[in-house]
Amino acid sequence: MGLNDGSLAIDPNVNLLTFDAPRELQNATTSVAHDARIVTALNLMILNLGIIGTYPATAIDNRVEVDDIVSVLASVIKKSGSARLDQETTYAAILAQLERFAFIQDRSFPAASGILRDYWNFVMPQIADETSLYRSASLFRYYLASVAIHAADEFYSPVKQSVSLAELQTMMAYTAEVPQPNVASGFYALPDYMDLSFNSLLLKDCTTRPAHPKCNDYNQLDGSQGAGADTLTVTDVSVPQSGNLISVQLNVDGSILIERKPMALGLAYFNYVVKNAEGKTSTSRYYITLHRNW
């Protein structure tokens, strides 16, 4: 995967089985911090590729399966001798082996592999601590994964062929200042995500995808996630930064109406406040990727 030479090379004495890369990102020794950034970025990208390869089974499904991606990477390395994640050819080879794209005729995946490579080049220099790692992961999970899937799948036409540096910078800014849940309270809301190709959408329950934002919020004391959603109430919604892309309305019956502004594309979001039966509240975010529908 390029760890032996070139820009991704790390100290050959590093034991990858015991090296705690995220913890070492801020190591005072420059060479150790460098190796930590490389290893952390590689692990993040494997997780990201797992997102692309995982089919959601239900409306509320936060699984990310990485076993298949690891097997695919091993297959790519065996066949070509390497799997450098800073090269488009590696992503094309990976996408060609995913079940999701088994029926795609163009096996070179030029748009999707370019988007994945551009993401790698964008976040690699920025991973320096826990905050930047979380934001880099959020940028992919809540935006780039969907963009790459749409670019690879011939069903979606026209597709987005690339992402610009300016766009990545804007979307990365949207991952900042994510509301922090009050974990100590035992009840906390978790981020949500959906694709939107329509001009409007009503979020009303936990059985229809995309689900209502309260459906995956977590009661720590009893370990329930979404199971008691009927006891939760969203009390407020707001659109802090992406108001030029969407408007959001909380209805009296608890449903949430999302409307996109004319010709709006990209990543939008709204924040919401949810309350449980004990009166505890938590704030989180619902990310929305707006796709072309004209």
Judge if 54 and 164 occupy the same domain: yes
The verdict on 159 and 197 lying in the same domain is no
pTM of this prediction?
0.81
End-to-end CA distance of the chain: 40
What per-residue confidence (pLDDT) applies to 156? 57
* 155 falls within a domain: yes
Q: What is the pLDDT of residue 35?
A: 96
Considering the domain boundaries, does residue 1 fall inside one? no
Domain span at residue 117? 6-174
pLDDT of residue 158: 44
Q: Are residues 189 and 157 in the same domain?
A: no
Cα(118)–Cα(222) distance, integer angstroms: 42
Q: What distance in Å separates the CA atoms of residue 49 and residue 96, rounded to the nearest whole number? A: 12
**212 and 170 inside one domain:** no
Q: Where are the beta strands (DSSP E) in the chain?
A: 187-188, 192-196, 200-203, 218-219, 224-225, 233-238, 246-250, 256-260, 266-275, 281-290
Below-50 pLDDT ranges, the chain: 157-158, 227
Same domain for 17 and 103? yes
- Among 132, 157, 174, the domain boundary falls at 174
110-123 and 145-152 helices, crossing angle to 10° = 160
pLDDT, tens digit, for every residue of 104-123?
A: 877 788 889 999 999 999 99
Whether residue 105 is found in the same domain as residue 152? yes
d(CA 57, CA 229): 19
Q: Same domain for 59 and 195?
A: no
Look at residue 249 in the predicted model and tell me its pLDDT: 97
Out of 140, 174, 208, a domain closes at 174
In a domain, 240, yes or no: yes
266 three-class SS: strand
Q: Are residues 167 and 252 both part of a single domain?
A: no
Domain count of the fold of the chain: 2
Residues 41 and 165 in one domain: yes
CATH of the domain at 285: 2.60.40.10
- Co-location of 43 and 163 in the same domain: yes
Q: Which token pair is 195?
A: 């694709």
CB 247 within 8 A of CB 261: yes
Tell whether 73 and 56 lie within a shared domain: yes
In a domain, 76, yes or no: yes
- pLDDT number for residue 138: 87
Q: Are residues 283 and 164 part of one domain?
A: no
Cβ neighbours of residue 142 under 8 Å, at least 6 residues apart?
175, 191, 193, 267, 269, 287, 289
Per-residue buried b or exposed e for 118-157, using 16+ beta carbons within 10 Å of the residue's own CB: bbbebbbeebeeeebbebbbbbbbbbbbbbbbbbbbeeee
